Structure 1
């Protein structure tokens, strides 16, 4: 009875062995790790399963122990059935499952997360069950001089190209970063409100203004919004990298444009003007504009006052252009200050009047002349 049972078991085992077919997937437990191969135990089989080192990983490895350990359970593919052993492949089993998962993610435009295992000429190598390649141009959204800085990092990637037949998988970390930035930008734009004062960092300087990063969004500070003073070039006021306070003037989410002002976060030139200028004081200014009713003279940065045409000269003039020109330096007297209305009245005429009232000093030898001397001189002329 016992003999029959042993024969029956052997026959059953033989049947099981014969049932293994190339391409079949099996589960095996690692029992021994040699330098160039791995021995695994397969359920319902007395034959050893052997995984050659070349079938352990899609990447090149020097020793089998770099890929597996004793006791590890593996999903494997049968690639050959011999009389005394079954030749298996972990690499191909992993690849089949990986291609299936990758195809789904590619179709759904999903990211994959993988560790960068190597840096090679022209790009990076990742292992996602199959060998994936990241071209250097797609490694980041910035220029990277040394790709070795990525080795060992686990990063998200977008599938750029997928071709199972050609065993070709091209990935991009750059696209992930750009998409994430765009999403962050849209979220940030929806949060920004006109009138808010926030902090930002100067990113770029152009002839017409400054671009400031305000949390994933670049807003423009036009050159006219940099300062109350005249600015010939934005570099006179700020440098790249400067932290600045800005006021949001307007937000256009559809066009992704934000207008900012540094000037409106600063004390205005008219604030506390009475502490800087006193009524009846005399200051020097620059003629900024000439109009039919007078001249506007800048006496402090951002502060212009009006010299009415009646206050330009003691002489009658038809237009201010007769005696003044834009850019001319002039002395003016402060007549009145209205900080609330931002009005400043000035006069040039009153300085002329004062000049005329100054007594003329005669030379010592001409002092003491008599009225008779003057009359005598006139009589002499008449006798002639």
Structure 2
């Protein structure tokens, strides 16, 4: 069942009444001559097993009007950024080719509506999902309705507000990885940077911890957070400041120094000994040292040191 975009516009928020609940979705009356079916997936931002977990019979709810795309394709665009890709000729050329092959005939740009979702940003380009639907007279576009995407839109607005106001949030640890931990914030998944966090081992799956949001990238579906104590410590530091710390890790590319709530990196290239082949020639675990801060990267929770001399 479909609705013409002449009646509903993409991105509109409309009100509908839940008039029937099925195991896989619900029927909604949007006060038109047709009922709409909304599948289980689109009823909530949370993972649910049945419609009753999200809606009730005869309940009035808001829905976001969302495009029902005729095609989707994952692709890597080299030598560009997410900003330069948007509305670029290159994006449309690729999409026109994919759409034409799928339809079996040539498609014009005027008959195509394109949406891209950035999956990852690399130094050499971006990975993206292209979605498109046709809007010719012979093939009018269709729409469907989603509570999930409306909740997601509101969730992104909320996390941006929390970041701006520097609010402490509490995220439940879902999974620990080699460089971080996965959490859920406002229904969205986020990454806590823990590879510089001296309290890393204290993070326990299933428990909540105080965090600060340091980066929000809706185009990449990416929320980055830091342990609150690490975030506070970063704000106490300045480039050029002399700090004292204890060596906790030694790698071939440098040593990690505990400077209070976080580990700062002293790269091999910035060491006091210019001819060092490996840091373990001069440094030992639990040895103390002093160093100058040469770089602070709040968005990645990193502090970089230089000119360090070790002492037991």
Q: Same fold (TM over 0.5)?
A: no
Higher RCO, 1 or 2 (CA under 8 Å, sep at least 6)? 2
Bigger Cα Rg? 1
TM range (shorter): 0.3 to 0.5
Where is the helix percentage greater, Structure 1 or Structure 2? 1
TM-score if structure 1 supplies the norm length? 0.34
More strand by share: 2
